[in-house]
Structures are given as C-alpha cells and as structure tokens.
C-alpha cells in the first residue's frame, strides 16, 4: 500500500470521518481575503486573529521543513438534542468532551503510527489552537468546500465535524480540491438571526451569536436584545438550515456524548443554574470557555 493509503486507513481506524492531504505551501488566495477581513474589523475583540499573520498563511513558518499537511475530520453530530424547546440552547459541538483534547489524542496516535510504519517524521498536531487556517487546508485536501456560511461543507456528511491537522516534514502525494456545491442556495444567509453573513462566503465574526456568547468578554450590547434565537452558547442556525446537513449521521465517539443531565434541563433549570451544577454538567465541555459567569450572563440576556 502507498503511504497515503496507509495513513488514511489508520485515520479511519481511529474514528476520523475523513482524511485528506495537501502540500504545505503559501495560501495565496486566502491572503488578500484574510487581510481585508481583518482590516474591516470583522474579528471584533478576537485580537488573536490578527496575530501571526504570516504564520497563518504559511505552515512552513510554523513547522520547520514542513512539506505535507494531513487534515482530518471528526464527526460530532449528536443522536439526541436538548428536550425542552423553551430552554436556552447550547451549540451541538459543546455537548460532550472538549474536542481539542479528543482530537489531539487521536492525532498523536496517528503520528505514532506514521513513525512506526512509514518512518520517523518531524512535525506538529494542530486543533484550532494555533494560527492554522483549518478550513482552507481541509478544502485543499478535497474534504469539502467552504460554503456561503464560511463553514466547510462535505457532500456526504454536511458540516457537523471538527477539523484537525498534522503538519509534517515528509513528502506525501496531495489530494486535489473538490468543487463548490452551494449553487444558488441562500438558506444560511436568510436564516442567520443577526445577519452576520453579510454576503455569500463572508461572515462578520463580530455580529455572530457565537462571538457574543463565547468570545465577547464585555457586556452584550443591548441592541442585540431579542436577536439570539435563544442561543446561550454558540449557534448552529446556519448549519441546521444547510441542505447538506440532511446527510449528517450521529457520531460514534463516546467522549462526545453529553452529560446525561444536560439534555433534560428545562428552561427553569437553566435560569436557576448554580456553579456546582455548571461544574458537574460541563466538567469536560467546551462550555467552560465562557466560565460560569459568562454562561449566566448569556442566559440572563435571553430573558425578555
């Protein structure tokens, strides 16, 4: 078997949805787009987005001798969602254990496999924690196309998946990109509660509900009152309405299963949330990013 096939087979064994390969190179097309997005201040208070501009566009500045990027997708689509339709909503990606740890563990296993079966490699694993343009590399590796909501869309699996990378110093044969299949559809643009998708393929991050409920550390602007569609942490609207997500299938990763109490929490349970319950229910979840005080702020903001 070719090295590329061995790697993809092992990625599948580790539970990854898909795996693709691209050449570690300068992201020529993305450079002007990123610059314009930052200059328009669409990153709001996410100042880290403006850091390491050169590294963000060239993985060889992150990893010495980088030649190839292996990109993996890990499904997180849940089999069940929150039961009370009146309850404040949590983005599906935060139902279970924090994805950073889950994917990092699997990527380490993949590196060990490559070292044993193919030969010693140098490189690093990345999961949304360094200046790496995940979606751009996933698209280059043929794992989908970047949709009008700026998410990576896959024609077989929709978009409810995480992205991770191995940037390595070995030559691997790259996969080619796929084509865009959004067509004339504007479902995500029409449904966005805060009109954050300001034009096809451009999202103003500073208008996104995920930004207000996770990234923003200050008080939520009163002008946003009544526009959050009951989202208390993150937002899935542009994914929920995307026709490609009719192909989403429930994940098989036990670590992504929610705390048993979370799905049963009523509107009242959320509004009366204590720090002890917060620590118990979200012990391993990405919801901890907002801290208890942040989640309480968001829940209070949702009240009429």
pLDDT at 260 over 90: no
Taking only the tens place, the pLDDT of each residue in 280-293 is 999 999 999 999 99
- Virtual torsion, Cα 118, 124, 128, 130, nearest 10 deg: -160
d(CA 22, CA 59): 11
Residue 93 pLDDT: 97
d(CA 23, CA 50): 24
Residue 191 pLDDT: 98
pLDDT at 1 over 90: no
CB 173 within 8 A of CB 21: yes
Residue 30 pLDDT: 94
pLDDT at 101 over 90: yes
Q: What is the mean pLDDT of residues 191-207?
A: 97
Mean of all residue pLDDT scores within the chain: 96
Taking only the tens place, the pLDDT of each residue in 45-96 is 898 898 999 999 999 999 999 999 999 999 999 999 999 999 999 999 999 9
Taking only the tens place, the pLDDT of each residue in 8-24 is 999 999 999 999 999 99
- The catalytic residues are 128
Q: What is the phi/psi pair of residue 259, to 5°? A: -60, 135
pLDDT at 157 over 90: yes
Residue 129 pLDDT: 78
Q: What is the mean pLDDT of residues 213-221?
A: 96
Residue 128 pLDDT: 87
d(CA 297, CA 294): 5
Relative to beta strand 231-233, strand 89-90 is parallel
Contact residues for 9 (Cβ-Cβ < 8 A; gap 6+):
1
d(CA 73, CA 165): 9
pTM: 0.95
* % pLDDT > 70, the chain: 100
Residue 69 pLDDT: 98
Contact residues for 40 (Cβ-Cβ < 8 A; gap 6+):
204
Residue 212 pLDDT: 97
Residue 177 pLDDT: 97
End-to-end CA distance of the chain: 61
d(CA 79, CA 155): 20
């Amino acid at each position: 078997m070719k090295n590329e096939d061995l790697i993809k087979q092992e990625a599948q064994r580790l539970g990854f949805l898909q795996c693709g390969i691209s050449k570690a190179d300068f992201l020529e097309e993305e450079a002007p787009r990123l610059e314009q997005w930052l200059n328009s201040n669409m990153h709001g208070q996410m100042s880290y987005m403006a850091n390491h501009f050169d590294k963000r566009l060239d993985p060889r500045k992150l990893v010495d001798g980088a030649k190839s990027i292996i990109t993996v997708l890990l499904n997180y689509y849940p089999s069940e969602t929150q039961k009370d339709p009146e309850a404040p909503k949590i983005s599906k990606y935060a139902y279970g254990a924090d994805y950073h740890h889950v994917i990092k563990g699997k990527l380490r296993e993949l590196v060990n496999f490559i070292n044993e079966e193919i030969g010693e490699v140098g490189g690093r694993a990345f999961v949304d924690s360094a200046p790496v343009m995940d979606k751009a590399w996933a698209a280059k590796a043929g794992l989908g196309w970047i949709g009008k909501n700026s998410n990576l869309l896959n024609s077989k699996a929709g978009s409810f998946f995480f992205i991770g990378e191995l940037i390595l110093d070995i030559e691997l044969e790259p996969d080619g990109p796929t084509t865009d299949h959004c067509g004339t559809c504007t479902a995500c643009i029409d449904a966005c509660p805060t009109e954050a998708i300001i034009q096809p393929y451009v999202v103003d991050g500073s208008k996104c509900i995920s930004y207000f409920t996770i990234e923003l550390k200050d008080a939520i602007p009163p002008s946003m009152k009544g526009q959050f569609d009951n989202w208390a942490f993150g937002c899935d609207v542009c994914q929920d309405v995307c026709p490609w997500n009719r192909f989403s299938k429930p994940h098989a990763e036990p670590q992504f299963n929610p705390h048993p109490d979370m799905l049963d929490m009523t509107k009242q349970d959320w509004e009366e949330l204590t720090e002890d319950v917060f620590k118990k229910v979200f012990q391993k979840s990405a919801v901890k990013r907002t801290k208890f005080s942040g989640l309480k702020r968001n829940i209070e903001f949702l009240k009429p």
